[in-house]
Every structure is written in C-alpha cells, then in structure tokens.
Amino acid sequence: MSRFRHYLAVIKRSIVFTPVGGVVFLVVLVILLRSLINRNSYEILLSCGILLLLLLLGIIGFWKSFKLKAMEPGWKPPFPMTANTNERTDITGLAAPVPLFFRLHYFVRGRFFPGGDSDKNSDGSSMLIETSVSRGATAAQLMLDFPMSGVFKGDGYCKLRDIFGFFSFSCGQPLSRTVNVRSAPCFGKRIHINAQSGAEDKRHKQSADEERFYMREYTPGDRLRDINWKSSDRIDTLITRISTDTQEKISRIEVHFRNYKSQLVKGKHQASLEELWLLDRAKARLAYFLRSIKDQNSSFIFDVRAAQGNWEIEDDQDLDAFLEELSGLSFATAKNENIPPAGAGDIYVFSTACDKSLPDFLLACNTRPVTLFISQPGLKTAEIKKNKSMLPFSEKDKKLNNDNEKEILHIGDFESKGCTVPARWFAFGKVKPLSVNNSRMEINYADVKL
C-alpha cells in the first residue's frame, strides 16, 4: 500500500498541467476543432493565440525546471515541534533565478499519525501544505502545524509554476523528514513533592576528584554553615560542602504512564479520534508534571514506566529526550505487569479511560500511596444524573465538567492545518468513562467536537 502511494505521488509530480491548465487546454482544443469545421476565423485566431501562449509557457517552464534539477531546497521545522503553536517552518536553498511570469512553490506532503502509531499497517491522516516564494527571495516560511501530538512523515519538494496557474514543473531535490510532534501544553494543578515521598537512592562518593564529588550546587534545605562562600563567590553560584562521611540522598519518583487499550481491530490498535485525544491529553499532563517537579527540585530522579519501556530521567537533557519519545508512544495491549514492591515511596499514575485494567492495577498497589491522573471524556449534566454510579463525581467535579473546563479538540482544526480526517476515526463509538476510585485523583476532561 505504501509503495502504491509512493508511485502515485511520483506520477502526480510528473504531470506538468495543473487541473486548471488541463481544463483550459482541452477547452481550447475543442474550440479550435469546432472553429476549423465552421471556418470561424475569429475563434481560430483566439484559440491559436491561447495555444501559442500555453506552448511558450510550457517550453520556458520545462527548460528552466531542467536547469533547477540540481537545486537542493530544504525544510527545517522548529525543534521541539509542538502542536497548536502556529510556528513556521523555514524553507532554505532557494537562491535560483526564476523566469518572468513564474514563481517557485514549495510543498510538504505526507501522513500524520496522531498518537504515534506510524507502523506500516496504519494509514494515518494525509497532509498537504504549500507556500509561494517571493520573486528574488532565497528563503521562505511554511505554516506547518498540527492539532495534536503524534508523528509526521513527509516529503518536501519544489515546483516551478506560472502565475496564470496553467503549469507546474517539478524542480530541485526532494527531502524526506520524520517529525515528532509534542502535545500542546496542559496546565493542571501544581504538585508539590517532599523528598520523603520518593524512594531514597543512597550513593557513596569515591575519594577521587574531591572538588567534583564533595561539592554540589546549593538546594533549599541545606545548612548555611555548609556553604563554601569562597568557591561560591568565584563562580557566582552557591556551592554546598558535602562531608566525606555523608551519603547524599536522592529521591526517586516512580511514574507509570499507562498507554493501554484492550480493543484490537485486525490485530492493530486502530483508535477513534476521541481515544487519540484522551491519550494526547494524558501525555500533556505527564509532561507538565515532570517539568514542574524538576523545576521544584533538580535533584529528583524519575523512573518512568510505559508499555514500550522504562526511562530514568536524571537531568534536563534526559527529560527533553524522553518528551521527544513520548510524542511517538502509541496505544499498546494491556499485559501482566510487575506490581511495584510495597513500602518504596509514592506512585504517580497517568492513564486514560481506554485503560480497562487500571482498576486492577490500583488495587494491587493499595499498599503504597498512589496519585492518579486520568483523562476522561466529558459528560453532560443529564448524563451525570442518569449514570451517577459511572464515576465518583463530587460536587466540585460536576462544576469542572463543563465546556469551559474541558479540553476541546475541534475536527475543523485538522482541515485548517491541511490534514484530512479519515472516516475510520469515528467508526468505534463514543468512549465510556472509566469507573475508578482513588483517594488522590485528578480528572482531566477532554472532548472532540465539530
């Protein structure tokens, strides 16, 4: 299927007539034939003039596009690429003379895979955007944006088009890229974590490199008498002395990202748009949690566990690398998990209403404090009254579950950003809220609307 699309794209790029140009050419041919039969000199002159113009434009465009075959334009999206930021992608390498009545156009065509499911069996959403290059310009900008997180695989290529819209000639070298798109920011409640709430990792320091191993940056809670004022003044940063007999304690925060979904369609995790949106919001809440906690105390270490693997996040570089991978994590099949051992600190769980095995996991972790962040579909007031047992709604939850507090994904956002909306995204029915009970829980409501 992917090879067929590749050949189809090559054929499309090889056609020099635009739809308008093809229609004009056929209409003029019909007029010319009819005028020859009727011996109408006026129509013969008019049709021959238009055909001569088309021939002239075609020859000039073909000749110039052949000259521009060696041009190497490139497209460089911003990093990190974040959904719904309206950031522009730079197009470079366009320093080439263009004949009169012609302009360079740059296209980006590919497939966008929300939720990161970009395997060969997944179709994704087709996407096509373009920009026109001003005459004499050597660079341009392209509005490449996405309504939610995922993976985009696309090709960038250049075409030489006349200002009348009759011809479109391929020129320059195409460039393929794979872009990870991060979730749009989610701003929830700030979580404050004490050092005592995480598992302690005691690390013995070696005797070598005393300056490196027995000095560290000051953190809130250190004693003032332990500050090395001389070294701090030299580098303009507070430095704390660590005794050779002291074992430095680092809190490890255990995080579970449960991107599970039980329903399989023909062996694949085909998901509805609503399910993909819930997964996107869970990713956004996890990213906000990790960044906010890291800003509170940079010494915290995160042990993040998901269906696709485990990550240890020690510093900002590790965090940025994980967030880049997070955008490409798709749904996975629920499996037998290793239950976290008892008495090893708090657990922070991020999940969605698609995770039907979540209640069993929470029950197995009842020996440890668990904080749950779950993305649920929003319910209308009538549905809440009708299904009171469906969710442990409190009065506060009822007030929050309204259109002002829900995170809404509009289907029109796809079309406005150049993406199609496949019909299969609506073939699985509405997601039902998941009934869970946990003493510490934050519910993020998310909906999909026209």
Q: What DSSP string runs through 305-340?
A: EETTEEEEE-SHHHHHHHHHHHTT---B-----PPP
Supply the pLDDT for residue 388: 47
Tell me the two tokens of residue 421: 């909306």
First-last CA distance in the chain: 30
pLDDT greater than 80 at residue 119: no
Task: Verify cis geometry, omega within 30 degrees of 0, for the bond prior to 185.
Answer: no
Does residue 423 carry a pLDDT above 90? no
In the three-class reduction of DSSP (H, G, I as helix; E, B as strand; rest coil), residue 361 is classed as: helix
Per this entry, what is the length of the chain? 450
pLDDT confidence of residue 282: 95
Give domain status of residue 187, yes or no. no
Instruction: Please give the pLDDT value at position 211.
Output: 43
Whether residue 4 is contained in a domain is answered as: no
Contact between 276 and 285 (Cβ < 8 Å): no
Structure-model confidence comparison of residues 60 and 5, the more confident one: 60
Q: Sheet containing 150-162: give its strands across.
A: 81-82, 168-182, 150-162, 102-114, 125-132
The pLDDT score that the predictor gives to residue 220 is 67
Cα–Cα distance measured from residue 434 to residue 283, given in angstroms and rounded to the nearest whole number: 18
Domains: count for the chain: 3
Whether 6 is covered by a domain: the verdict is: no
Q: Is residue 189 part of a domain?
A: no
pLDDT bucket at 398, cuts 50 / 70 / 90: very low
Per-residue model confidence (pLDDT) at position 336: 66
pLDDT grade for 400, boundaries at 50, 70 and 90? very low
- Res. 59 pLDDT band, cuts 50 70 90: very high
Residues contacting residue 115 through CB under 8 Å, at least 6 positions apart: 149, 150, 271, 276, 279, 280, 330, 331
- Is 133 found in the same domain as 221? no
Quick check: is 192 in a domain?
no
- Say if residue 226 is in the same domain as residue 295: no
| Mean pLDDT, range 363-379, rounded to an integer | 88
**Burial bucket for residue 179 (CB in 10 Å: 0-12, 13-18, 19+):** buried
Instruction: List the Cα angle 202/207/213 in 5-degree steps.
Output: 60
* pLDDT attached to residue 202: 47
User: Strands, E, within 212-268: which ranges?
Assistant: 215-217, 239-241, 248-257
pLDDT at residue 210 in the model: 40
Tell me whether residue 416 is in a domain: yes
Per-residue pLDDT band at 29 (split at 50, 70, 90): very high
User: Which ranges constitute the DSSP H helices of 39-180?
Assistant: 41-67
Of 246, 279, 299, the position where a domain reaches its end is: 246
Per-residue pLDDT, averaged over 173-193, amounts to: 86
pLDDT tens digit string along 66-108? Answer: 999 989 998 999 999 999 998 899 999 988 889 989 999 999 9
Share of the chain above pLDDT 70, in %: 79
Q: How far is CA 98 from CA 113, 161, 168, 194, 431, in A?
A: 36, 10, 13, 64, 54
Which tops the pLDDT comparison, 171 or 344?
A: 171
Lookup result for tokens 């680092």: 250
| Vertex 166 angle, CA 165 and 168, to 5° | 85
Give the per-residue pLDDT at 271: 85
Please say whether the beta carbons of 76 and 97 come within 8 A: no
Identify the residue whose tokens are 């709604």. 393
Residues 264 and 288 in one domain: yes
Pair (343, 281) in one structural domain: yes
Residue 142's nearest CA partner among 100, 168, 179 is 179
Give the residues across from 90 on adjacent strands: 76, 141
Closest Cα partner for 131 from 180, 70, 79, 90? Answer: 90
Is residue 139 within 8 A of residue 92, CB to CB? The reply is yes
Q: How far apart, in whole angstroms, are the C-alpha atoms of residue 422 and residue 336?
A: 33
In a domain, 191, yes or no: no
402: domain range?
252-449
301 shares its domain with 386: yes
CATH of the domain at 142: 2.60.40
| Count of CA atoms in the C-beta half-sphere (13 A) of 292 | 15
Confirm if 355 and 334 have CB atoms less than 8 A apart. Answer: yes
Higher pLDDT pick, 203 / 302? 302
pLDDT the model gives residue 399: 44
C-alpha closest to that of 256 among 375, 142, 351, 170: 351
pLDDT on residue 243 = 56
Classify residue 5: in a domain, yes or no.
Answer: no
Statement to judge: residues 298 and 261 lie in one domain: yes
The dihedral of CA 113, 118, 124, 130: what is its sign? positive
Same domain, 232 and 358: no
Average pLDDT, the chain: 82
Q: Are residues 100 and 67 in the same domain?
A: yes
Q: Please indicate, yes or no, whether residues 300 and 428 belong to a single structural domain of this protein.
A: yes
My answer on whether 324 and 421 are in the same domain is yes
What pLDDT does residue 10 have? 63
Same domain, 33 and 178: yes
Residue pair 211/228 in contact (Cβ under 8 Å)? The answer is no
Tell how far CA 344 is from the center of its chain.
34
- Lowest mean pLDDT across 103-107, 240-244, 256-260, 388-392: 388-392
Both 406 and 282 in one domain: the answer is yes
pLDDT at 204: 42
